[in-house]
Amino acid sequence: MSRNWAISAEDLTQACSDFSGLDLNRLPAHVAVIMDGNGRWAKARGLPRLKGHSAGVEALKATLRLCNDLGIRALTAYAFSTENWARPQDEVNFLMTLFERVLQRELDSLEKEKVRIRFLGDLNALPEGLQQLITQASERTAKNIGIHFNVCTNYGGRRELVLAAKKLAERCVRGELDPEMIDENRFASELFTAGEDDPDLLIRTSGENRISNFLLWQLAYAEIHVTDVLWPDFDRSSFIKALMDYQSRCRRFGGLDPLVKGRIRS
Ligand code: FPP
């Protein structure tokens, strides 16, 4: 595990004191989340859908804090997909305003907790005011040594791949790049996530077994945890369950379980 070195050993022991049952040496370094079920959460309470998104922000803040406490290196959250523009205009407007408000309200505490925030996606299509806040927040926290918090906004995995391919093709046409030099590392360096290791664990809430155009390249070897919990209800115990599930897996990356390999060799 690559531990977040913004946290002292003492703080970490304190923060982890009630994570019994978890192997703190086998935590994922990068967690990705598809925060689904906000609308259903609100509906179940007789509330407008939009209230579900506001409650979702609280669940996201709590998850970020938990990841930070545990020394998890990166948290990447799917906040708005390239397909979400198809939602009713008032919901889209609400979400854009919510992103702005949250950024304005939380920037000081993100800064205090040494979080480095980045927004990943095609940001040019976002409202001007939101783009400015995103630039400010990214610049202000760029050198922070705490958790990397990536918010995927107007993000689509397919669009990300097409953009990367286009950038590489343009460089080849200009004669700056030999196509023979394009390998997986070079390709990954053109993705929005450049510089970030791939997620080890993907959590999807609300019981849907889909990737929904999220991190199509980066999730190649991620362990997937699907829970029926709706995102606004996703709390500390849900997160610990996801981590326990992750720790129960044997990650082979296309190879063999080391125990099986040992048996074959001997
Ligand atoms: C999916 O639930 C959720 C979204 C499309 C929005 C998620 C956004 C947040 C939680 C806000 C994050 C804020 C910041 C600043 C990062 P859904 O509406 O599809 O739920 P449903 O499937 O029950 O209808």
* pLDDT digit string, tens, across residues 9-39: 555 555 555 677 899 999 999 999 999 999 9
* pLDDT digit string, tens, across residues 154-172: 999 999 999 999 999 999 9
Q: What is the pLDDT of residue 21?
A: 86
CATH for the 27-156+199-247 domain, from 3.30.230.10, 3.10.20.30, 3.40.1180.10, 3.90.1300.10: 3.40.1180.10
- Residue 99 CB less than 6 A away from ligand 1: yes
Residue whose Cα lies nearest atom 14 of ligand 1: it is: 99
Q: Is 84 a catalytic residue?
A: yes
Q: What is the pLDDT of residue 207?
A: 97
Which residue stretches of the chain have pLDDT < 50?
1-7, 266
- Residue 40 CB less than 6 A away from ligand 1: yes
* The one catalytic residue among 4, 36, 144, 198: 36
* pLDDT digit string, tens, across residues 243-261: 999 999 988 778 877 666 6
Q: Are 34 and 202 in contact (CB under 8 A)?
A: yes
- The CA distances from residue 76 to 67, 83, 119, 149, 215, in Å, are 11, 18, 9, 6, 10
| Cα 108 to middle of ligand 1, angstroms | 23
150 phi, psi to nearest 5 deg: -105, 125
Amino acid at 129: G
Tokens 């391919």, residue?
A: 165
- The CA distances from residue 148 to 141, 142, 199, in Å, are 10, 9, 12
Residue ranges per domain, the chain?
27-156+199-247
Q: What is the pLDDT of residue 257?
A: 74
Q: Is 122 a catalytic residue?
A: no
Burial 69-100 (b: 16+ CB within 10 A, else e): bbbbbbbbbbbbbbebeebeeeeeebbbebbb
Long-range contacts of 159-163 (CB under 8 A, 24+ apart): 159/82, 159/122, 160/121, 160/191, 160/192, 160/216, 160/217, 161/191, 161/216, 161/217, 163/122, 163/190
- Residue 137 CB less than 6 A away from ligand 1: no
Q: What is the pLDDT of residue 252?
A: 79
Whole-number mean pLDDT of the chain?
92
